[in-house]
Amino acid sequence: MAVISFTFLIIIFLIFLIVRLKPWLVNYFKLLKNYGPVPCPRNRLPILGNLLSLPLDPHQFSLKLDQFYEESKTTALYCLWIGTYPLVAFFHPVGLEDFFSGSKHITKSPDYLFLHPWLRTGLLTR
C-alpha cells in the first residue's frame, strides 16, 4: 500500500511539473526554431547554452568573447546562448537590414515585466 501511495505522489508531482514548465518549454522551442539557422559556438548545451564555456574571471571572459569574435567575424551574424536566451551579434549591415526590416523581431525582454507596473506603457515597456 505504501508503494502505491508513493507512486501516486510521484505521478502527481510529475504532472504538476509538466504543467508548470509547459509555457517555458514552448517558448524555448520557438526560440530554437527561430534562431536555429544562426551560427553558434559548437559546444552549446540544450538548456544551459554556452554558460559552461564562459569563465568567471573578467579577463578570461573577455578573452573568450574575443575568441568567439574571431570565430564569427566572417559571418554576417552570430548567436551566443546565455541559458535559454539567444544573444545575436551583427557583423555586417546586411544582417541588420534583414533583421530590422519588419516589426516581428522587435520585442522586449521578459525583464521589462518588472518595470511595467511602475512605468506603465511607454517607450521602455509595451
26 in the same domain as 82: yes
The structural domain count of the chain equals 2
The domain of 100 spans: 92-126
Beta-bridge mates of residue 30: none
84 in the same domain as 22: yes
Q: What is the pLDDT of residue 67?
A: 86
Question: What cell does 46 get?
Answer: 540544450
118 in the same domain as 62: no
22 in the same domain as 6: yes
Q: What is the pLDDT of residue 14?
A: 92
**5, pLDDT greater than 90:** no
64 in the same domain as 16: yes
80 in the same domain as 61: yes
**pLDDT per position as a tens digit, 31-48:** 888 888 888 887 888 888
Q: Is 99 exposed, middle or buried (0-12, 13-18, 19+ CB in 10 A)?
A: middle
Q: What is the pLDDT of residue 108?
A: 66
Q: Is the Cβ–Cβ distance between 10 and 49 less than 8 Å?
A: no
Q: What is the pLDDT of residue 10?
A: 92
104 in the same domain as 82: no
**pLDDT per position as a tens digit, 82-126:** 888 888 888 777 767 766 666 665 666 677 777 777 777 766 555
Please tell me whether the overall predicted TM-score, pTM, comes out greater than 0.85 for this model.
no
76 in the same domain as 26: yes
The pair phi, psi for residue 77, each rounded to 5°, is: -145, 165
